Amino acid sequence: MDRLDNTIRPYAWGSTTAIPRLLGTEPTGEPQAEMWMGAHPGAPSRTDRGTLDEVIDADPERELGPDAVAKFGPRLPFLLKLLAAGAPLSLQVHPDLTQAKEGYADEERRNVPVTAPHRNYKDANHKPELVCALTEFDGLCGFRDPLSAAGLLDGLGVDSLKPYVDLLHAHPEEAALREVLTAILTADPEEMARTVTETAAACDRLGGAYAPYADIAHHYPGDPGVIAAMLLNHVRLQPGEALFLGAGVPHAYLDGLGVEIMANSDNVLRCGLTPKHVDVPELLRIVRFEAREPGILRPEAGPDGEEVYQTPIDEFRLSRYVLPESGATHDLTLATPQILLGTAGSLRAGEHELTPGRSVFVPAGEQAHVSGTGTLFRATVVV
């Protein structure tokens, strides 16, 4: 197996302390938002044999196994991350596989540079994702029931929100949510900025259920995404709980440290809470306008102490081991590629230390014997 040396991405919304605290290193004062573990070309993990994408490219069947290559092609189909949000991320959705292929092909035909700020599709893949909380973790996930959203907006007493309240009462669910989100994102910018300012003041004054939106408005003053965020469910995960985000589900992470895994894609359609490009027509084509509960996931017990986060996705499978102080060695060998990440305690994977934040890549079929006491996450695929 290969010890991974991983890149930490300094996105502005990142916490300055959460990842250093986990790693046991001194904060730099700069945001440390995500630590990437995998073979994504944007920041592949480094090994003693070269970067992980180079290692896999040199012999895909040996590293990934013939079954994984047959199903997903000669690449690692997932990206594992530590994600540390110190401020809200952009409100966003991801396309399904068909939409991603169509969108990518269209932008390629139109010769839109892949680095262009208005480009939506960086690749032809979908981007389902799962986030598992390591600390208390706040996020937004999926639309509220329209009447619930109407009540939340109406309770602010902001006159300029009344048209949105009326729309949420006046139409069937899908039409109501579509019309209100469209109206928010296409409103006059100056009028919307005033509405957001009044909304933020009301959220500050009322607190309680409005407190998360007051904080969002503090970070993104005047952004229409503040109002759009109030259409979504607010959820607070406890450590060990997770959220699965499928195609078309609007979401944003607000605060906390978690383990995130996703299909290997960069395709994001933004709704707000960002200075980046918002393509409203394409966004409205991708969003699934259906009210839904956030659907908090808890791990299901499997064999040999493995706790599995069940999702409908084959590109990744995330599980957790909480290993007691028994001195036993656990055999985690699989016929599929895996990344093992320590998040608590003192563990060893073969000859490698898996103290918090350390990780290894295990090629398909290679022995993976883990010992020690602590918590370990395993990322692999379903073949």
Enumerate the active-site residues. Answer: 270
Size (the chain), residues? 383
CA-CA distance, 139 to 87, in Å (whole number)? Answer: 11
Query: Which amino acid belongs to residue 271?
Result: C
Q: With the CA atoms of 115, 119, 122 and 126 taken in that order, what torsion angle do they form, in degrees rounded to the nearest 10?
A: 160
CA-CA distance, 106 to 314, in Å (whole number)? Answer: 26
Token readout for 202 is: 């009301």
Token readout for 275 is: 């200075």
Mapped onto helix, strand or coil, the DSSP state of residue 326 is coil
Mapped onto helix, strand or coil, the DSSP state of residue 28 is coil
Among 208, 239, 209, CA closest to 140: 209
The CA distances from residue 21 to 346, 356, 372, in Å, are 15, 9, 21
- Alpha helices (runs of H) in the chain, residue ranges in sequence order: 18-23, 52-58, 60-64, 66-72, 97-109, 146-154, 162-170, 173-185, 189-206, 211-219, 225-229, 280-286
Strand partners, 14: 85
Q: What is the DSSP string of 233-247?
A: EEEEEPTT-EEEE-T
CA-CA distance, 310 to 292, in Å (whole number)? Answer: 18
Mapped onto helix, strand or coil, the DSSP state of residue 335 is coil
CA-CA distance, 285 to 248, in Å (whole number)? Answer: 9
Calculate ∠ Cα 332-352-7, nearest 5°.
100
Token readout for 5 is: 């040396």
